[in-house]
Amino acid sequence: MRLLLGYYNTYVRQYFWLYPTAILLFAAAAFIYLRTQVPLYRSTCQLHVSNADLRVTELRGIVDPYNAAGASFINTQIRLMQSPEILNRAYELTGGLEGDSSKCSEPEIAQVPNTTLVNLSITSPYPEAAAKLANTIAEVYMTSVLQRRVSISITGVDLLRDQLDDLQKSRDKAMAELLKFKEQHGIFDLEQTYTTLLSQLTELNKHCIEAEIQDVELTATLQTIEEHRADAVILMPFLLPEGATNLGSLKSLYLSHEMRLPELLTQYNEAHQAVQTHRKVGDMIIAAEEKEIDISIQGLELRRKRSQQRVIRLNAQIAEIRERLNSLDRIGGDYKIREAACAALDDTCRMLVNRINEIKIADATTKIENYAIFIVEPAISASQPFYPVPKKVFSTALVLALALAGGIAFILVSVNNKVTHIEMVSAQFGNTLANFGSVPLFTEDEHQLLKSSGEDPIDEAFRDIRTSLNLSALTRSSRVLAISSATPSEGKTFIAANLARSFARDKKRTLLIDMDLRKPQLHKLLQDFLPPDSGKRGISNVLVGDCALSDIVIPIKELGLDAALAGPIPPNPNELLGGGGLKKLLKDAQEKYDLVIIDTAPLLVVSDTLIIASHGVPIILATRLYTVTKPIIRHLSERLKQVNISLAGLIANNADVPKNAYYSYKDGYGYGYGHGHGYGYGYGYGKTKERQKR
């Protein structure tokens, strides 16, 4: 909102006269334009245009140049509607119309987006002629399409019959070749044969893997037995399947036999026949175990040889089946090609028969109904002119007028770099400064303004500024305020004096100090209220220690305040303010007064004000609008940033305020204002005649 208000103040308010002037000029031009233009009427006929008509145009030998396929179909039909043949025939049929159809415009034909609808529009000074010509063009176009379709259908039947005969012969030949191919390769159903062979191959692979696993297991068993031949009696029952050998029984028998030997030895000696017989039987059992081991090994060898032979047979069968599959793969492509050719020929034959039947059915009717191209909404006579439209013309004129006025205002603002409103000053400081109010341009002499009654517009203006300062935290946190400006002649002395008078009328003990020690102006402004020789001693004397602040204070009863003038101009004001006297002066002033207002030197001319600000004194910037320039304010902002000093707020001088803003009902007094250069003073306020002249 603040940005928009800034644009308004910059480009609209100060050049407000441009906008109504431009609007009036363009409105007059629009009125003249409407009075001189011939009204035009537009009628539109809407057609449905689709390529879903007779399909014979898709077949070999039958070509319709106006029936393109795909997205270009409607574009082709639009070009056909605009062809000289269609238009000349339509003009002939409408030649006797009232208003002469030759004054009608060329047809404007456009597709409705994402539909198969087409709008055919005619513009003419005569509404009846426009509607009639649009409908006639649509009818001539539909008749042309109908005639073309009838001609194509007659030729199409003969061509389709010839094509059907050729296709039937080709189909019979292809079927004969397919049957012969099946007989040669023993194929009756390629897919089923292929599936069967794959199933057999899978099963053989499974058996082959089982045989190979068995061979590996037998080889490992024999290797283990050979490596542990001495323990074969113990290992073989665990390596061979259960029941495959009698070694377990023989081992149990041998153990039972050996357990009887100790008992025999207790009864007989080693040479006894019973002991000898017992040992022979043990040897026979051991021999039987060895023989059983040999037999088992032979059996394992035999089983391993059989497994190896089985793997060889299975691999041979797998190779044979794979060869058959490869053979099927080689001939499968040829088979599928022949089969697909036969299927395609069958489909084409059926399609041709259906197309011939469709064309015969269409020819059997008295008229081929154009169900794909028809009129959706016929054109009617327009009741209101299409061109010119007064509302549109005046709207365009308004937009152009505002644009022209805005452009001129922009150029004027670009050329003029003067600050015209306080927001422009605040923008240079990042829009962070408070705006305490505005002082309008007064035509009265500044000395007369100081003698106001308290109800005059000047009093109202400074009363508003005083209220803003009281509502802010500035006057509550500090009892000292300094008024300064960027350059001389911006009215800071006048603002400081009137602001001090306004606070004094608010029952506050107020002291007005002139600390512009280089070019003081306060004594000139207050000359009607000061005693003779009042400027012999002042602030400069207090700062050098010649006297106290109370010695130079001058009571001004007419204004209700005390004033301390600058005194004699010292040769070194900057060093004087930088000494220790300023701090004591400010302290004494705050102890005796409710508010101290200081008139200081311009900020960009000398650094005196910066020294005062370094003592914690808030600085309020007084800016004379329409006089100070943007580069000056920008330079001031950069200067204050360099020394790390911030302003406390802004007061606009020479503001363009409405006349009745500070109107007094008591005496009916108003004030004048304008865009001049302000009060016309050198470094302060000048005389009335000089200001009026400038």
Q: What is the pLDDT of residue 577?
A: 92
Compute and round to an integer the Cα radius of gyration of the chain.
60
Look at residue 601 and tell me whether its pLDDT is greater than 50: yes
Instruction: Determine what percent of the chain is predicted with pLDDT higher than 90.
Output: 32
Q: What is the pLDDT of residue 177?
A: 75
Look at residue 270 and tell me whether its pLDDT is greater than 60: yes
Look at residue 70 and tell me whether its pLDDT is greater than 60: no
Give the dihedral of Cα atoms 428, 429, 434, 439; nearest 10 deg. Answer: -40
Average pLDDT for residues 279-289, to the nearest whole number? 83
Best-predicted range by mean pLDDT among 265-274, 371-380, 564-573? 564-573
What is the arrangement of strands in the sheet containing 480-484, beginning at the earlier edge strand?
A: 435-440, 649-655, 619-624, 480-484, 595-599, 510-514, 561-564, 554-556
In the chain, how long is the greatest CA-to-CA distance? 176
Confidence tier at 153 by pLDDT (50, 70, 90):
low
Q: What is the pLDDT of residue 657?
A: 56
Count CB atoms within 10 A of the CB of residue 373.
21
Look at residue 227 and tell me whether its pLDDT is greater than 80: no
Average pLDDT for residues 152-159, to the nearest whole number? 67
Q: Look at 401 and 295; give whichever has higher pLDDT.
A: 401
Angle (deg, nearest 10), helices 247-259 and 232-239:
140
Average pLDDT for residues 319-330, to the nearest whole number? 78
Place of tokens 């701090």: 583
Q: Per DSSP, what are the bridge partners of residue 117?
A: 48
Helix (H, G, I), strand (E, B) or coil at 444: coil
pLDDT mean across residues, the chain: 80
Query: What is the Cα–Cα distance from 134 to 47, expressed in whole angstroms?
Result: 11
Tokens of 124: 């003419």
Spatial contact of 514 and 629, defined as CB atoms under 8 Å apart: no
Count CB atoms within 10 A of the CB of residue 474.
17
Q: Look at 364 and 466; give whichever has higher pLDDT.
A: 466
353-379: pLDDT as tens digits: 777 776 666 555 544 445 578 889 998
Q: Poorest-confidence range of 367-371, 382-386, 550-554?
A: 367-371
pTM recorded for the entire structure: 0.45
Spatial contact of 171 and 346, defined as CB atoms under 8 Å apart: yes
Q: What is the pLDDT of residue 387?
A: 83
Look at residue 25 and tell me whether its pLDDT is greater than 80: yes
Confidence tier at 686 by pLDDT (50, 70, 90):
very low
